[in-house]
Every structure is written in structure tokens, then in C-alpha cells.
Structure 1
Amino acid sequence: MHGLLQTIEHALDAEAMGAQQGLLQGLDPRIKLIGFLALIISGVLARSLPVLAALFLLALILALFSGITMTRLYKQVWISVLLFTGVIALPSIVVVPGLPVWQVPWLHWTVTQQGLRSAAFLIGRAETSATFAVLLILSTPWPHVLKAMRNLGVPVVVVAILGMTHRYIFVLLQNATQLLEARRSRIVAPMKGPQQRRMVAAAVGVLLGKTFQISSDVHLAMISRGYRGEVHLLNDFRTRSRDWFALLFALTVPALILGFQ
């Protein structure tokens, strides 16, 4: 239950961060969507570790001037991406043939220079791309992201699915929290391990059963309030000169990388 509440608070902090003053917060969401997509593509196209390091440094600079702390990026992006891609990249340091650098004791596995380079590329691209993607989400309220996607021609079905999924996640978290809190308020003594496991299994079953009903209720509630997949906001997007400058800079980065390579 504490973890569920922390997840909800984390999402609310992200929404508040998107509404504060900063470099990225002041840009047109449509420009940010195109610009970050160009920067993510730049990270995928990069074939040089110094270029990847420069892109990662650019992401850190953007976060610094937008009020996004390194601690948040460290907890939300870097650790999880490192663990996930590290498991995938770790075998490449001994599988990829090349110049031997070091031999693992007792296992007689040879770590190669090319293998280390391949692992560094995989982890660097994943970390850089994920950092750019999270910067977009943390600096832009979610409804603005959806409206920007719709204005740029993303099909209304995709926007509707993303909007409903985002809303339904919070409804599901709220129901799970209430379910665990109601069960805990009816327990007068500490339970043993098997009893706790049975309670959790029963809660999962009940929540799964309520999921189908809740999804239908959420969809009907959104339709009854006029939702048809289109995102309507009180404030319209306005593109200013600094937005065009930011877009030109973001589009120049992949062009320079391709020219450099």
C-alpha cells in the first residue's frame, strides 16, 4: 500500500514539475515532441562514443535548466535502464571476438576490446534515449503531450488509447489502495506468512475481477463527458521564435552526426 501511494505521489510530482518555470517548460509541446524525437534518433544513429557522451551531456544540461534534478533521473531512469540493458550487454564483452583485454579467472573467458565497445554502445544509447524521453514527459503535462501528438497527425485511436490507459492506471492504483486499506482495517492481529500470502492472492483476484467493470465504467464516464479521442485544452499552443530556434537546433544535431560519420 505504501508503494502504491508513492507511485501516485510520484506521478503528481511529475505533473507539478511540468507546470513550473524552466527552459523546456516554456517551449511549445509540438516543438518539444519533434525535437526530442530528433534527439532520440540522433542517439540511435551515433556510431562514436564521444558523440553519445556529448548527447548525454546535452540531456543533463537541458534537465539542469529545466529544474529537473539529477536525483530524479538517477532513480527514475538511469538505474532501471542500466540494470535492464546491462543484463543484455554483459555477454557481449566475452562473446564478441576481438583484441583480448582481460581474462576472467577460473572461467577462462576473454574480455575483448570490441566486446566492451559494443556493450558501451548499447548502454549509452539506451541511457541517452531514455533520458530524452523522460525529459519530455517531466517537462510537459500529459494532456499537452496528447494534444501535441494529435496536432502532428497521430491517429485519434492511438491518442485515445494512451489517454484512457493513463487515466485507468490511476483508477486502478486508487482501487488497489482502497482494497488493501479496507482489508487491513479489519485485521486485529498480525498475520503469519501463509495468511499474508493468501490475503495478497485473494486481493489480486478481486482486483482482477473489478478491472473489467472499472474499465467499462471509466470509458462510459469519459464518453458521457464529451470525450471522443480529441484532446481539448483551455489554452492553445503558440509557436514563438525561441520555439523555432529550439526546433532548428534539435534537427541540426542528427544532421551533424550523419555528416560527421
Structure 2
Amino acid sequence: MAEPSFASHPPAAGGADLVGRIAGGITALLRHAEESVALARGPGLLQGLDPRAKVAGLFALILAAVATRSLLALAAVFGLAVVLGALSGVGPRRLARQVWGAVLLFTGLIALPALVLVPGTPLLALPFGLAVTEQGLRAAAFLLGRAETSATLALLVVLTTPWPHLLKALRSLGVPRAAVMILGMTHRYIFVLAQLALELFEARRSRLVGRCDGRTARSLASGIAGTLLQRSLDLAGEVHLSMIARGWRGEVHLLHDFRFRPRDGLFLAALLAAALALALAGRP
């Protein structure tokens, strides 16, 4: 039986220390990764499709969202993404929690100045001689809508496809081997470093008696960060050499090859046709 983790049972919110909060956040990250793996291997529309058809079809929808000049067509792509997510076990609540809120915050801050900086027909007068224009509102809506739609479709690909299958699908579709290698190693190192950081924080917390003051907690956290950086650099070199010694050349190999079935072809053809129609919508 595994020993109980200090980070699995963080202290109450009122008395949580800095080290405990960081360890709890890392634990939540690892738990979320486990849930994502279970979702990718579970039942659902997108989970049952060939990864190559899925990646190509959803990427075509992303291109359509970027290329379209019609807000109605952009809303249709977004609605289609929500429907595909719901049929694959990725409901609107999860999408809102994982992508919509963050994209709205960051893209909204970027799009906000366009409301008054883009010249056009005034809609709402503001102080200092500024005004919200119709063209500025349209530009901001396009920027925000394209960002939300693209991020939603990209998240659907990641959540409904096991990571090794996704990497092999990208390689099969012509993505350069170097790019696939970088994606694979980055994904792996995120969780290796997260697990290493969690072990360091748990080791430190297990040796503390009572609660540290803010200055001591910040000192402990910065010391652990420095140790983690040094250990991660050493680990990166060791892992790279061991992979090279075992014949790693950047290609992704699976026990089972992909099988492109008729329903995969129908799904891909339907998404490509929809993407083309929506991309051309609004053009003269």
C-alpha cells in the first residue's frame, strides 16, 4: 500500500501555507492528467475515430474559423465544436473551466482596445473624446470568436486522443519529426518535473513542525525551485542519453497500427465540406 501523501490532504484554506498550496496545485495537475487519459480511452464520438481523420478534420475547422469573414459562420463553427465535445464526453462546463474562461480573459484584454482604436461608425460615446465604433466591435468579436473556437477545437483533439496516438497521427500527416519530438519530450518532462517537484515539497513538509511564517515559506519555496532546476537539467541529460542508447530517433511506434475505416472517411469528408463552406461564407 502506498504511503499517504501530505499533498493529497492539504490544510484548510484558512491556514494553508505556501508550500502546502503549491504541493496541492501540483497534485491537482497530476490528478487532472489521469482524468484526461481516462477520457481519451473512454467511449465517445471522437474517441472512436481514427486519430488521423480526427486531427485533419478538426484542423480544417480551425482553418475555417480563421478564414471566415462571417460572424454567423464563425458562430456555426463554434457551435459545431460544442456539439462534437458533448458527443465525446467533453461538456460545456468542462470547456468553460479549461479553455473558455482563460481565452476570454487574455484575448479580451487584447481585443478591448480595438473597440475604440478602429475607426468607424460611433455606437457609444466615451469620455476623453473616445467612442466605441461598429467596426471596432466587429473586429473584437472576430478576434475573440476565432480564439475561443480554435482553442476549443484544439482542446477536443487533446482530450479525446491518447498522447502517443496524437503524436503518431501528426507524424503521419507530415508534421516534421523534430516538431513531433519536441512535443513528445515537452509533454513527458512536464509530468516528470511535476512529480519531482511534488516529492521535494512533500519531503520538506514532512520535516516541518508547526506553521512557517511567510518569509520562511517563501525561502523554502525558492530553495526548492532552485534544487528542482538543477535536478531537472541533470535528469534531462541522462534521459536523452538513455533514449539515444535505446535507438530513439524521434519516430512514434505503437503496438497497433491505425485502421482507416469507412466511417472515418465519412467523418473527415463531412468536416472538410463543412469547413470549406464556412470558410467561404461572407466572401463576395
Do both proteins adopt the same fold according to a TM-score greater than 0.5, normalized to the shorter chain? Answer: yes
Structure 1 residue 6: Cα displacement: 0.7
Partner of 1:82: 104
Unaligned stretches of 5+ in structure 2? 1-22
Per the normalisation by structure 2, the TM-score is: 0.88
How far apart, in 2, do the equivalents of 1:50 and 1:196 lie? 52
Taking only aligned residues, the RMSD between alpha carbons, in angstroms, comes to 1.4
Cα distance change of structure 1 residues 36 and 4 upon mapping to structure 2, 3 Å threshold: same
Partner of 1:196: 217
* CA deviation vs aligned residue, 1:65-101 (integer Å, no higher than 9, x gap): 1111212111111011111100100001011111111
Unaligned stretches of 5+ in structure 1? none
How far apart, in 2, do the equivalents of 1:170 and 1:23 lie? 28
- The answer (yes or no) to whether the contact 1:168–1:218 under 8 Å persists in 2 is no
How far apart, in 2, do the equivalents of 1:98 and 1:160 lie? 47
How far apart, in 1, do the equivalents of 2:219 and 2:57 lie? 49
Partner of 2:95: 73
Instruction: Select which of 167, 173, 176 maps to 2:188.
Output: 167
Cα distance change of structure 1 residues 209 and 155 upon mapping to structure 2, 3 Å threshold: same
Q: Are 2:24 and 1:2 equivalent residues in the alignment? A: yes
Q: Are 2:60 and 1:38 equivalent residues in the alignment? A: yes
Q: Aligned residues: percent identity?
A: 52
Structure 1 residue 184: Cα displacement: 0.9
AA aligned opposite 2:271: A
How far apart, in 2, do the equivalents of 1:218 and 1:33 lie? 29
Q: Are 2:81 and 1:59 equivalent residues in the alignment? A: yes
Partner of 1:257: 278
How far apart, in 2, do the equivalents of 1:149 and 1:221 lie? 25
Structure 1 residue 258: Cα displacement: 4.3
1:25 is paired with a residue whose SS is: helix
Instruction: Select which of 169, 176, 193 maps to 1:155.
Output: 176
How far apart, in 2, do the equivalents of 1:217 and 1:174 lie? 17
AA aligned opposite 1:83: L
**Pairing 1:98-109 to 2, within 5 Å after superposition:** 98-104=120-126, 106-109=127-130
Partner of 2:19: none
* CA deviation vs aligned residue, 1:18-52 (integer Å, no higher than 9, x gap): 10111101110011111111010000011111111
1:20 is paired with a residue whose SS is: coil
AA aligned opposite 1:180: F
Q: Are 2:234 and 1:213 equivalent residues in the alignment? A: yes
- The answer (yes or no) to whether the contact 2:120–2:133 under 8 Å persists in 1 is yes
How far apart, in 2, do the equivalents of 1:154 and 1:95 lie? 38
- The answer (yes or no) to whether the contact 2:68–2:280 under 8 Å persists in 1 is no
AA aligned opposite 1:197: R
AA aligned opposite 2:141: A
2:90 is paired with a residue whose SS is: coil
Cα distance change of structure 1 residues 259 and 190 upon mapping to structure 2, 3 Å threshold: closer
AA aligned opposite 1:200: A
AA aligned opposite 2:237: S
Instruction: Select which of 147, 150, 175 maps to 1:129.
Output: 150
- The answer (yes or no) to whether the contact 2:66–2:146 under 8 Å persists in 1 is yes
1:21 is paired with a residue whose SS is: coil
* CA deviation vs aligned residue, 1:133-170 (integer Å, no higher than 9, x gap): 00011110000001111222222222222111111111
How far apart, in 1, do the equivalents of 2:244 and 2:39 lie? 29
Partner of 2:266: 245
AA aligned opposite 1:51: A
